[in-house]
Amino acid sequence: MESFKRIPAHIGIIPDGNRRWAQEKGYQKKDGYKYGIKPGFELYEMMIEYGIKEATFYGFTKDNNKREKEQREAFTKACTDAVELLSGKDANLLVIGNIDSPEFPVELKKYANRRVNFGRGLININFLVNYDWEWDLKNLIQNKCLRSADISRVDLIIRWGGRRRLSGFLPAQSVYSDFYIIDDYWPSFKQAHFINALRWYQNCDVTLGG
């Protein structure tokens, strides 16, 4: 196990490229999502091994619901399947997303907006499901706090699939995050991706503006 000068406390994961990966394989676009579950748990195990305290996975967003019905059903199922698997592991899960819209999967309501402990609780896992950055911020108007107020500042964001943008990922917690982009699609996750991200991050000059 490699050692690093500095480890991020909280990592944001943007697992993009499932549809492009599926198309390259000759599958239908919707079929990409289910291949994103196994990589998520490989990464989960590595994060525990390296002592990461908190990780936020980008499930799907309000804007993603503009996609075709088959794709919507497929990414929603991948999210609920992932949580079912996680419930047999050692994590403290917090699901954040708009539960008042019909796109929020009913199976996940019991994990929404409060942290639920699984097993030995070795890592805090936040899962953004039917998340909407505007809904998150507008809660400041109604309730004087973010919907995602229980999610801490993100130190490092790793995005798969080559796009260089946040796509609405936790705008308040990402203000000082360092971004690491991986061109490979998420279902092609390799352990080296994560190790390379940590290698890069240890040399980032974290100043928070000072």
**One character per residue 86-125, x = contact with a second copy (rule: CB under 8 A):** ----------------------------------------
Say if CB 8 and CB 52 are below 8 A apart: yes
Give the span between the Cα atoms of 96 and 150, in whole angstroms: 9
Can you tell me which of 113, 114, 117, 140 binds a second copy, judged by CB under 8 A?
Answer: 140
Q: Give the DSSP letter string of 144-156.
A: SS-TTTTSPPPSE
CB of 149 to a second copy, least distance (A): 12
CB of 61 to a second copy, least distance (A): 6
Say if CB 46 and CB 192 are below 8 A apart: no
Can you tell me which of 18, 56, 61, 76 binds a second copy, judged by CB under 8 A?
Answer: 61
- Any contact of residue 203 with a second copy (CB under 8 A)? no
- Any contact of residue 56 with a second copy (CB under 8 A)? no
What single DSSP character describes residue 162? S
Can you tell me which of 110, 120, 138, 190 binds a second copy, judged by CB under 8 A?
Answer: 138
- For a second copy, give the closer residue by CB, 3 or 142: 142
Can you tell me which of 99, 179, 188, 195 binds a second copy, judged by CB under 8 A?
Answer: 179
Burial of 110 (0-12, 13-18, 19+ CB in 10 A): exposed
- Any contact of residue 166 with a second copy (CB under 8 A)? yes
Q: Quick one: angle between helices 191-202 and 37-49, nearest 10?
A: 40
C-alpha distances in Å from residue 198, one per residue of 63, 122, 157, 169: 30, 19, 11, 20
Task: Please give the size of the binding site for a second copy, defined by CB under 8 A.
Answer: 32
Can you tell me which of 46, 99, 116, 137 binds a second copy, judged by CB under 8 A?
Answer: 137
Site residues, a second copy (CB under 8 A): 61-64, 66-67, 133, 137-138, 140-141, 144, 163-168, 171-172, 174-180, 204-205, 208-210
